[in-house]
Amino acid sequence: MEKNNVLMMVWKSFTILCTLSTVTCASYQIGAPNNTDIEFVLINDNNPCHRTCVKGSEPMRCHYTFSVEWYRTMSKACYLCPFSPEDCDLPHCIPGEGSKRTIAVVNRQMPGPSIEVCLGDEVIVDVTNKLLSDSTSMHWHGFHQTGTPYMDGVPYVTQCPIQPGATFRYHFKAENYGTHFWHSHSGFQRADGVFGPFIVRVPDEFNPHISLYDYDLSEHIVMIMDWGTELGIDKYAAHHHSDGDNKPRSILVNGRGMSKGFLIDTNTTTYIPPARFVVEKNYRYRFRVTNSGFLNCPIEMSIDNHTLTVISSDGKDIEPVEVDSLVLYAGERFDFVLNANQEIDLYWMRFSGLMDCDARFTSVFQGAVLQYKNASETGNPSSLLDYASSHRQGLQLNPLNKGTEDNETITMPKLVSLDGWDDTLKEKPDYQFHLAYDFYKINNPHFHQGDLYGFFNVSNPKQRLLTPQLNRISMTYQDVPILQGRDTIDDKNFCNSSTIEAQDCADDYCECTHVLQVALNSVVELVMIDEGFAYDANHPFHLHGNYFRVVAMKRLGSNTTLEEVKRLDAEGKIKRNLMDAVVKDTVTVPDGGYTILRFKADNPGYWMMHCHIDFHVEIGMAVIFKVGENHEMPPVPKDFPTCGNYLPEISKLPTINPCIKKESIYSLKYWFPTFFDDSCNSSSGSSSIDSNRISVIVLVLIFTKFFC
Ligand SMILES: *[C@@H]1O[C@H](CO)[C@@H](O)[C@H](O)[C@H]1NC(C)=O
Ligand SMILES: *[C@@H]1O[C@H](CO)[C@@H](O)[C@H](O)[C@H]1NC(C)=O
Ligand SMILES: *[C@@H]1O[C@H](CO)[C@@H](O)[C@H](O)[C@H]1NC(C)=O
Ligand SMILES: *[C@@H]1O[C@H](CO)[C@@H](O)[C@H](O)[C@H]1NC(C)=O
Ligand SMILES: *[C@@H]1O[C@H](CO)[C@@H](O)[C@H](O)[C@H]1NC(C)=O
Ligand SMILES: *[C@@H]1O[C@H](CO)[C@@H](O)[C@H](O)[C@H]1NC(C)=O
Ligand SMILES: *[C@@H]1O[C@H](CO)[C@@H](O)[C@H](O)[C@H]1NC(C)=O
Ligand SMILES: *[C@@H]1O[C@H](CO)[C@@H](O)[C@H](O)[C@H]1NC(C)=O
Ligand SMILES: *[C@@H]1O[C@H](CO)[C@@H](O)[C@H](O)[C@H]1NC(C)=O
Ligand SMILES: [Cu+2]
């Protein structure tokens, strides 16, 4: 009886303590919004900021909530998809190409929620990391973050990674109009599904192409990407540490695709219903296309019986060009006008994978349906759809590994910007940098450890992995974000090609924090050179924080060198478009050739420039531009989260004394430990016992002095 009472009391005090501690824990989640799923659907889907942009109206504050979590294609939300095709459109159903695989997504959508605002709006996005054990970050691809460099979303450059359970509130101005997108900048999360559209519109009065189309609809946003059956990290580990390949298996259009390898029912050829884009005859539509791909899979796009009138790239307007097909590299965006002037019917929109997706490897292609109103709402076009037929003859924009030497295609320097001349195009830039690269046969210790399994030790060619580097340097980061920690980071921690000159980076692997420093408001010229000795490769480069002009692009042959390009330039054999060169933020470089970019470094901060192929940026194919002096950059926002190492000096580490017990100063045990001590060895605890006794004696002496 008595024993039960004691147990009861112990239990009760236990529950009270538990409740108390839960309350304490919960109050630690400072800043974490307690939105339910329903709430964020409301905020995102009926967001009042998605409106017609009107000249002279007040900008709005636009609030979104993103919940990043692990999820699954063909989840239970898909019910009978694809046998009951409308089930594939149910909320939270992400069909992919029909296979079941783990994905990472925002708000159980892929592509994630579309942010559509007007130029000048203020954007607030609360990103909550529910990934259990991975950190995350969000980059607003196409936004320059002028004055808000801390919102660029690059881990260890502009912010600490967002820890699991934490929420980071991004807050910036939508200062760049056009077709952009957002995506995680952490690991392979973009590849696994953490991406979505970000469209900034302008009032008709400021839209030079307004007369070219009748509709600019959210339904005509097209997000394309390469896709596979496994998580990005699985593919990465298999490719870098074993004999796994780096080839995509399919292409998705707005998160879905039909794929031969993933026929749900081989007898009836039931596929996932392809993406559909509905138009009405005799109207013209603005399509906004983004390639958010992650491997080396440029995608050629065309629409049967229609041409594409391309009016903008990476958000910036160009003089329209009418083409039959268009190639998009990872990170690029193009807007085109589709004139629905053909017979009422269904037409294939064809997507054909190049490079690692081409006929030498996986022959990856995809179709989506262009459906005229009054044509079948469920059927597919009758014409054949396969890899061979997905290549369209005729005029192509942005072809693979070609430059202005090719007179049968339109390469980027031939596009005409509507921006007019500015001093980025002045004759002599203030800085000129050459960034030369290739894949190198070196012992990169991240996957070829010298004596153990060095590059030349392993004989299986599938296990020999070459390292892509910029100027023979692989990028590494500091232990704190460079922008945030700039005042504590010595510039000596940074490197560039002149600081590593003494090292033999051609034979030995070199890695460091590759930073190129330029003065504020200077004009920078970047000569990107793809040496092209290893394979016939291709890399798309993306610059954060700035637009650039593409002033030249040329393929010289199957290979070239930095010296050859410099020599040609010195001999005046490189022609630059310094009149009206196109303005972009992502561009390709022909293999065995060069692309020359110009930008005005007027946005103080640390800005990444990197290959947009995830496998390459994750092993260091990146460089950082330090624009302006540290003091010219905006101050660190109040309460900005911190991170970093905990590495106290070993010699200064205190001796660990497990006998130290915190006793209340009012307890007897505090004053007379020896009498109460039960676990500690007398030897280890003796010194503290002595000092206790001394204090007691001193106190007793003081007492006696006062009262006697
Ligand atoms: C969380 O939700 C509760 C109840 O819905 C509400 O009272 C509270 O204000 C919310 N807290 C925050 C930080 O939004
Ligand atoms: C497809 O047809 C074959 C042969 O007729 C049959 O054995 C198989 O079960 C069918 N598969 C499905 C999924 O119905
Ligand atoms: C589309 O073009 C093809 C080839 O030019 C032609 O055979 C076909 O009839 C056209 N389809 C329609 C619906 O106009
Ligand atoms: C579509 O069909 C409806 C009803 O059959 C007809 O009234 C309409 O004119 C058609 N539209 C076009 C563009 O042909
Ligand atoms: C392209 O250039 C080649 C050789 O310089 C020339 O023979 C050909 O006619 C040109 N084609 C066009 C379309 O200008
Ligand atoms: C790998 O190659 C290096 C250099 O050729 C050699 O010294 C080393 O013994 C080799 N290791 C193995 C495990 O074969
Ligand atoms: C390269 O590094 C050196 C040494 O830190 C520095 O003086 C120089 O300014 C750097 N060059 C560039 C372009 O950043
Ligand atoms: C480099 O290009 C030249 C001319 O195009 C070719 O003859 C040579 O074989 C190439 N070298 C390599 C290593 O690919
Ligand atoms: C107590 O002393 C024994 C023997 O000297 C030792 O093995 C043990 O680790 C000591 N325990 C503590 C708590 O210091
Ligand atoms: Cu690359």
CA dist., res. 181 & res. 232, Å (int):
20
pLDDT band per the 50, 70, 90 thresholds, residue 680: low
CATH number for the domain whose boundaries are 41-78+91-202 = 2.60.40.420
Phi, psi of 270 (to 5 degrees): -85, 115
pLDDT band per the 50, 70, 90 thresholds, residue 286: very high
Length of the chain: 708
pLDDT band per the 50, 70, 90 thresholds, residue 267: low
Do residues 670 and 689 lie in contact, with contact meaning Cβ atoms separated by under 8 Å? no
Residue 30 scores a pLDDT above 60: no
Residue 21 scores a pLDDT above 70: no
Q: What is the pLDDT of residue 18?
A: 39
pLDDT tens digits for 536-559? 899 999 999 999 999 999 999 999
**DSSP helix, strand, coil percent of the chain (3-state; round to 5):** 20, 30, 50
Please report, for the chain, the start and end positions of each structural domain, with discontinuous segments joined by +.
3-31+656-707, 41-78+91-202, 208-398, 423-632
Task: Give ligand 3 pocket residues (Cβ under 6 A).
Answer: 304-305, 342-343, 345
Name which residue sits closest to atom 5 of ligand 4, judged by CA.
Answer: 374
Strand partners, 200: 117, 178
What is the token pair recorded at 500? Answer: 């590593």
Do residues 543 and 624 lie in contact, with contact meaning Cβ atoms separated by under 8 Å? no
Q: What is the pLDDT of residue 700?
A: 80
CA dist., res. 226 & res. 60, Å (int):
35
**Which bound ligand lies closest to the C-alpha atom of 39?**
1
**Which bound ligand lies closest to the C-alpha atom of 167?**
1
Q: Which atom of ligand 1 is nearest to the CA of 34?
A: 1
Domain 208-398 CATH assignment equals 2.60.40.420: yes
Distance (Å) from CA 35 to ligand 1 centroid? 8
- For 571, counting Cβ atoms within 10 Å of its Cβ (0-12 exposed, 13-18 middle, 19+ buried), the class is exposed
- Tell me the mean pLDDT in the region 294-315: 98
Q: Which atom of ligand 9 is nearest to the CA of 658?
A: 13
CA dist., res. 103 & res. 296, Å (int):
20
**Which bound ligand lies closest to the C-alpha atom of 558?**
8
Q: DSSP letter at 427?
A: S
Q: What is the pLDDT of residue 708?
A: 65
Q: Which atom of ligand 1 is nearest to the CA of 32?
A: 13
CATH architecture of 423-632: Sandwich (2.60)
Q: What average pLDDT is seen over the chain?
A: 90
CA dist., res. 458 & res. 466, Å (int):
12
Residues with CB under 5 A from ligand 10 (ion): 539, 611, 613, 616
Distance (Å) from CA 665 to ligand 9 centroid? 26
- Evaluate whether 208-398 and 423-632 have a shared fold: yes
Q: CB-based contacts of 369: which residues, under 8 Å, 6+ apart? A: 274, 275, 276, 277, 346, 347, 348, 349, 380, 381
Q: What is the pLDDT of residue 702?
A: 82
Residue 71 scores a pLDDT above 70: yes
CB of 410 sitting under 6 A from ligand 5: no
Look at the alpha carbons of 137, 143, 149, 151 in this order and tell me if their dihedral is positive or negative. Answer: negative
pLDDT tens digits for 456-506? 999 999 999 999 999 999 999 999 999 999 999 999 999 999 999 888 999
Q: What is the pLDDT of residue 655?
A: 83
- Residue appearing with tokens 């605890």: 685
Q: What is the pLDDT of residue 291?
A: 98
Lowest mean pLDDT among 34-48, 111-125, 406-420, 482-496: 34-48
Q: What is the pLDDT of residue 662?
A: 65
CB of 374 sitting under 6 A from ligand 4: yes
- For 10, counting Cβ atoms within 10 Å of its Cβ (0-12 exposed, 13-18 middle, 19+ buried), the class is exposed
What is the token pair recorded at 472? Answer: 């023979």
CB of 681 sitting under 6 A from ligand 9: yes
Residue 597 scores a pLDDT above 60: yes
Distance (Å) from CA 674 to ligand 10 centroid? 68
Residue 40 scores a pLDDT above 70: no
Residue 2 scores a pLDDT above 50: no
CA dist., res. 276 & res. 282, Å (int):
18
CA dist., res. 645 & res. 375, Å (int):
62
Query: What is this structure's pTM?
Result: 0.85
pLDDT tens digits for 514-537? 999 999 999 999 999 999 999 889
- With the most atoms of ligand 8 within 8 angstroms of its CB, the residue from 441, 559, 563, 591 to mutate is 559
- Tell me the mean pLDDT in the region 340-352: 97
CA dist., res. 657 & res. 679, Å (int):
12
